[in-house]
Structures are given as C-alpha cells and as structure tokens.
Amino acid sequence: MLSCKHIAENATDYMEGRMNFFQRLKFRSHLRACVHCGRFLRHIGLTCIVSGSCTHQTATDQEVEAILEMVKAA
C-alpha cells in the first residue's frame, strides 16, 4: 500500500487527473483504508473545486470495484 506521505505528496496529481489508471487505483485503495488521507483529499478537493483547476478524470467506483475483485481473485 502507498504511504500517507506519498498520498500527501501526490494529491494534486490525483485531483488533476495526472495519474494513469493503476496509479489512481493504488491511490484510491489507500483512501479507502485510511480515514486521515480521505479527509485530507476531501479538503484538497474542495479547494480544487472552488479554484476551478480540476478535471477530475478519476475512475468510477464501479471500475475500482471491478479491478479490486480481479486482484483478489488472482
């Protein structure tokens, strides 16, 4: 799993869609497990939405669930 430090350092790339699908997946799996980073991202997200600088090209929850099932089954 990614470290909280990694999440904090790369939050902007995540929010602005500068990650590939698997990078976003790893990022999101950390957010699902870590309440602190989830809260942090929501805070960043609000700032980002207000400033209008986000594209939000994130995977849908369904895409993430599908991949997680594949990973578990592997």
Which residue matches tokens 């997680």? Answer: 68
CB of 38 to Zn ion, least distance (A): 8
What is the distance between the alpha carbons of residues 23 and 21, in angstroms, rounded to a whole number? 6
Lay out the site mask for Zn ion across 15-54 (x = CB under 5 A, - = otherwise): -------------------x--x-----------------
Interaction between residue 4 and Zn ion (CB under 5 A): yes
Interaction between residue 11 and Zn ion (CB under 5 A): no
CB of 8 to Zn ion, least distance (A): 8
Report the Cα 39 to chain-centroid distance in Å: 12
Which residues have C-beta within 8 Å of that of residue 18, sequence separation ≥ 6?
A: 12
Which residues lie near Zn ion (CB under 5 A)? 4, 34, 37
